[in-house]
Amino acid sequence: MNTFLTHPVVPLLLLWGASALVRRTLMGDGDSPVPSGGIVMAGGIFVIGALGQLHLPNLVGHLAVLELLVVWGYLSLSYARILFRGELGESIRQPMSAFGVGTWVAGSAVLGRALLEVVPGWRPVGLALWIVAVLLWLWYLRLLLAAFRAALDPSGGYRADGAILLSAVATQSLVVSGEALVPGGIPQPVSAALIVLGYLFYAAGIILILRRYLFRSDWTLADDWGNVNCILHGAMSITGLAVVVSGALPVGLAVLTWAWVVTAFVGVEALEVARAVARVRAYGWRDGIFVYAPTQWSRNFTYGMFYAFTLQLNRSPAAPDSWATGPQEAILGYGHYVVLAALLVEIGIFFYDRIGTRLPGPETAGGSPKGG
């Protein structure tokens, strides 16, 4: 293990080579879809929250976070190719893709924090990733102006869904990671401003989402309830986590946020179960459920973030004395196993889909028949 830590470039290069072989064999040389940053988001929050509670060998954590760094590198190269070909503007012109850039922001920020958690000596690398996230976020704000305008006018063809809430996720990821990576932490007024902005993004997003699903009838559960709608609770989980780790706002706000997260989690996941049943009836098991899409990683991210939020709130000295009772005890006692199981299932679906279909191109953005 000492050798591993002294020469981290060796396992990093080995993982890079192995990943190159897998990528070339299973996905070809195509470009990665915009929301593929969710892979790094999901893996990073697993490392930050659940991994430490599983009591696995340290080597597992090191390999996991280095592989995430490799994935981040491949995604960055893919997006750079699109940029140099002059196609980036067209790629993010659609609101869905514009909102999806939030996965680039949150993925970079969360990976920086994950590196610090597992390899403390790599703080400069983690800080560099956080700075990249900040720069991406500043550009992302410009994209959001046009994306929100498009979401306000459904006549343009865009139908709001959970992807719109990536605006909140990206913003709060800067606080959650910056508090650990920035020397001395982020100034509290800055953290408070970012958290409030995240709440505002969430409020605007959920109004648009509810307008679509409650006041329109031209949608079906099987085809139009997307994977990204789980961000309805995930965006609030990371917001509550930002409140706790920053200390910039009262912890009572975090407790209220947690109550909202639980309510949203129960409602959304009940719809997810109903959706799965509807898709199996419509398309069968293979095409209804076991089809890979980058947006599926949002579910892993939200599960991991809910657990991380609950864990951090439980550890807060300002939390209510009766906090760790009832549902909290169940989440803290078994949540890390659920997060791990969900991650393994998603990895399995990815390989099942790729090996089973032998698709020559990159991962598909839609992920299932009729946009499932």
CATH 3.40.50.720 fits 8-371, yes or no: no
Dihedral of alpha carbons 159, 165, 166, 170, sign = positive
Mean pLDDT of the chain: 87
Q: Is the pLDDT of residue 265 over 80?
A: yes
As given in the structure block, the two tokens for residue 259 are 């109550």
User: Residues with Cβ < 8 Å from 188, sequence gap 6 or more?
Assistant: 246, 247, 248
pTM (predicted TM-score): 0.89
Q: Domain residues of the chain, as ranges? A: 8-371
Q: What gap in Å lies between CA 245 and CA 177, rounded to an integer? A: 9
Q: Name, of 30-39, 69-78, 104-113, the range with top average pLDDT.
A: 104-113
Q: Is the pLDDT of residue 122 over 80?
A: yes
Q: What burial letters (b/e) apply to 177-211, b meaning 16+ CB within 10 Å?
A: bbbbbbeebbeeebbbebbeebbebbebbbebbee
Question: 290-308 pLDDT, tens per residue?
Answer: 888 888 899 999 999 999 9
Q: pLDDT at position 158, please?
A: 81
As given in the structure block, the two tokens for residue 35 are 């929301």
> Whats the size of the chain, residue-wise?
372
99 Cα distance to chain centroid: 13
Structure-derived torsion over alpha carbons of residues 164, 338, 41, 111, reported in degrees to the nearest 10: 150
Q: What gap in Å lies between CA 170 and CA 346, rounded to an integer? A: 22
Q: Is the pLDDT of residue 112 over 60?
A: yes
φ, ψ dihedrals at 238, nearest 5°: -70, -30
- Residue 235 has, within 13 A of its CA and on its CB side, a CA count of 31
Q: Are 15 and 63 in contact (CB under 8 A)?
A: yes
Q: What gap in Å lies between CA 267 and CA 337, rounded to an integer? A: 22
Of 294, 306, 274, 278, give the one whose Cα is nearest residue 163.
294
The continuous run of DSSP H or E covering 3 comes out as helix 2-6
Q: Is the pLDDT of residue 82 over 70?
A: yes
Q: Are 198 and 147 in contact (CB under 8 A)?
A: no
Q: For 28, which DSSP code?
A: T
- Residue 173 has, within 13 A of its CA and on its CB side, a CA count of 39
Q: Is the pLDDT of residue 264 over 70?
A: yes
Q: What gap in Å lies between CA 354 and CA 291, rounded to an integer? A: 9
As given in the structure block, the two tokens for residue 76 are 């960055």
Residue 321: which pLDDT band, with cuts at 50, 70 and 90? Answer: low
Q: For 229, which DSSP code?
A: G
Q: What gap in Å lies between CA 185 and CA 28, rounded to an integer? A: 42
Q: Is the pLDDT of residue 171 over 80?
A: yes
Of 272, 238, 231, 270, give the one whose Cα is nearest residue 257.
238
CA angle 281, 286, 25 (to 5 degrees): 160
Q: Is the pLDDT of residue 175 over 80?
A: yes
Q: For 360, which DSSP code?
A: S
Query: Mean pLDDT, to the nearest integer, of 74-94?
Result: 87
